[in-house]
Amino acid sequence: MAGTCAHAEFFRAQPAWALALAGVGLLGLAAGVEGLREAIRGLEVGVLVNNAGVSYPYARYFHEVDEELMRTLIRVNVEGVTRVTHAVLPGMVERKRGAIVNIGSGSSSVMPSDPLYSVYAATKAYVDQFSRCLYVEYKSKGIDVQCQVPLYVATKMASIRKSSFFVPSADTYARAAIRHIGYEPKCTPYWPHSVMWFLISILPESLIDSIRLGMCIKIRKKGQAKDAKKKEQ
Give the Cα separation of 103 and 231 in Å (integer): 35
Handedness of CA 187, 192, 195, 199 (dihedral sign): negative
Give the Cα separation of 135 and 126 in Å (integer): 14
- C-alpha distances (whole Å) from 59 to each of 56, 96, 202 are 6, 43, 26
Closest CA to 134 of 186, 177, 80, 91: 186
The three-point CA angle 162-166-172 to 5° equals 70
Count of C-beta atoms within a 10 Å radius of residue 144: 20
User: Which of 56, 120, 173, 190 is the catalytic position?
Assistant: 120
Diameter over CA atoms, the chain: 60
Give the Cα separation of 69 and 145 in Å (integer): 29
* 183 has catalytic annotation: no
- Catalytically active residues are 120
